[in-house]
């Protein structure tokens, strides 16, 4: 069997197909069944089970594997994780156990499959700095101070406009994303953070509203914008509602990633996961979040919030197989809950 190459290598899909076919023959006695590729992975689906290779962000691509398994109607789901993703494999195993489907996760070590046991999610990392030394600047500029996994940022309607970074010392850098922060610093140097941030906040606010003309600033972080709007509605006022980070640290602003909020109602905790597009990974992200030890009380229900035209039947099918109660609603349906 060919050794795995580099993610993104143009030859990699063919290598994955060959490797998966070989593994299915050796470990499942499955032959003459076609390999079906999908973005980020590939699968072999036989009535006895789905045998799926997750090659990119396996902790999120697990959602696609579950959806394919349910659509094919196979008896079980076995997931193969290449060795380059060894560190995240226990998290994938933990997430697979949160679904009533019968699933196992295996790590490919050389040419051998090794069963992966689930590992508990780590607690959110604490800040390494004095938050109150920087929070007032963000708030005074009209942004919201947000702390996630030890990182302090300022947001306008869910869009990051500044971030605290360590450059010999902790500094508040202004800009939408890392490239914008770097360009802003090259142009303005160490200008007072408050004055610079005020200008950026004012500019972003003009585009971060429903009536604004199309602009890159209202296409970034749409999930967090949905959450921000939710937190301003009367629905949120019915209970105590707060936003929460994801279980895993957020990637770049361009990456799809659900935005989370929790509401306490009559002693019950409800978890909301806001997502746009058809993000199957958001569903497994939400199931994992509900079992995270960072919750002070047990999550009684998970509500996946999508835009109306993105509510595909497969998403509803998936929610029915969650171990913990889960349902799908459109953004418009929130007002009637």
Residue 155 domain flag: yes
> Per-residue pLDDT averaged across 169-185, rounded?
88
Residue 2 domain flag: no
Calpha distance 139→154 (Å, rounded): 8
**236 lies in the same domain as 269:** yes
Where residue 177 falls (left for φ over 0; alpha for ψ -120 to 50; beta otherwise) is left
Tell me the C-alpha to C-alpha distance, in Å, between residue 62 and each of 55, 69, 127, 175, 322.
Answer: 10, 10, 30, 33, 13
Residue 7 domain flag: no
Please report the pLDDT score of residue 237 as a whole number.
61
**72 lies in the same domain as 27:** yes
Q: Is the pLDDT of residue 238 over 80?
A: no
Show the CA angle centred on residue 310, arms to residues 308 and 315, nearest 5°: 110
Please report the pLDDT score of residue 188 as a whole number.
74
Residue 242 domain flag: yes
**225 lies in the same domain as 325:** yes
pLDDT tens string 36-94: 999 999 999 999 899 999 999 999 999 999 999 999 999 999 999 999 999 999 999 99
Three-state SS string over 81-124 comes to EEHHHHHHHHHHHHHHCCECCCEEEEEEECCEEEECCCCCCCCC
Q: What is the pTM of this model?
A: 0.90
**282 lies in the same domain as 187:** no
> Per-residue pLDDT averaged across 18-36, rounded?
92
Q: Among all chains, which residue has been given the structure tokens 């076919």?
A: 21
Choose the final residue of a domain: 169, 189, 217: 217
Number of domains in the chain: 3
Residue 175 domain flag: yes
Going by pLDDT thresholds of 50, 70 and 90, the confidence category of residue 1 is very low
Calpha distance 315→327 (Å, rounded): 9
Please report the pLDDT score of residue 185 as a whole number.
78
Percent of the chain with pLDDT over 90: 69
Choose the final residue of a domain: 202, 217, 232: 217
pLDDT tens string 127-153: 999 999 999 999 999 999 999 999 999
Residue 126 domain flag: no
Going by pLDDT thresholds of 50, 70 and 90, the confidence category of residue 105 is very high
Please report the pLDDT score of residue 321 as a whole number.
96
DSSP summary character for residue 276? -
Query: Of the candidates 228, 231, 284, which has an alpha carbon nearest to the alpha carbon of residue 256?
Result: 284
**152 lies in the same domain as 211:** yes
User: How much helix, strand and coil, in percent to the nearest 5, is found in the chain?
Assistant: 35, 25, 35
Which residues 6+ apart lie within 8 Å of 142 measured at CB?
156, 198, 201, 202, 205
Domain span including residue 88: 12-115
Please report the pLDDT score of residue 236 as a whole number.
59
Tokens of 224: 């967090």
Which residues 6+ apart lie within 8 Å of 229 measured at CB?
157
Tokens of 210: 């429903």
């Amino acid at each position: 069997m060919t050794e795995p190459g580099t993610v993104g290598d143009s030859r990699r899909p063919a290598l994955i197909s060959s490797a998966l076919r070989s593994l299915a023959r050796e470990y499942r006695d499955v032959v003459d069944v076609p390999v079906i590729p999908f973005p980020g992975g590939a699968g072999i689906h036989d009535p006895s089970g789905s045998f799926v290779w997750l090659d990119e962000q396996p902790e999120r691509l697990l959602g696609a594997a579950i959806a394919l398994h349910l659509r094919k109607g196979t008896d079980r789901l076995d997931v193969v994780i290449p060795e380059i993703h060894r560190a995240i494999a226990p998290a994938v195993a933990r997430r697979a156990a949160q679904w009533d489907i019968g699933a196992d996760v295996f790590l490919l070590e050389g040419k051998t499959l090794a069963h992966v046991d689930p590992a508990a999610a780590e607690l959110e990392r604490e800040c390494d700095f004095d938050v109150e030394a920087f929070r007032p600047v963000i708030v005074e500029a009209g942004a919201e101070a947000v702390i996630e996994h030890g990182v302090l940022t300022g947001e306008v309607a869910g869009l990051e406009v500044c971030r605290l970074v360590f450059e010999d010392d902790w500094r508040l850098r202004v800009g939408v994303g890392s490239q914008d922060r770097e360009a802003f610093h090259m142009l303005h140097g160490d200008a007072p953070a408050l004055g610079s941030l005020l200008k950026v906040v004012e500019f972003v606010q003009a585009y971060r509203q429903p009536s604004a003309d199309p602009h890159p600033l209202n296409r970034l972080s749409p999930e967090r914008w949905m959450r921000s709007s939710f937190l301003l509605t009367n629905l949120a006022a019915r209970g105590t509602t707060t936003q929460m980070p994801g279980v895993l640290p957020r990637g770049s602003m361009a990456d799809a990633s659900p935005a989370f909020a929790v509401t306490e109602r009559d002693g019950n905790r409800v978890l909301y996961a806001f997502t746009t597009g058809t993000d199957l990974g958001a569903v497994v992200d939400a199931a994992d979040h509900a079992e995270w030890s960072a919750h002070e009380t047990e999550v009684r229900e998970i509500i996946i919030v999508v835009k109306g035209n993105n509510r595909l039947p497969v998403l509803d099918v998936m929610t029915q197989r969650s171990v913990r109660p889960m349902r799908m609603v459109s953004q418009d349906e929130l007002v009637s809950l």
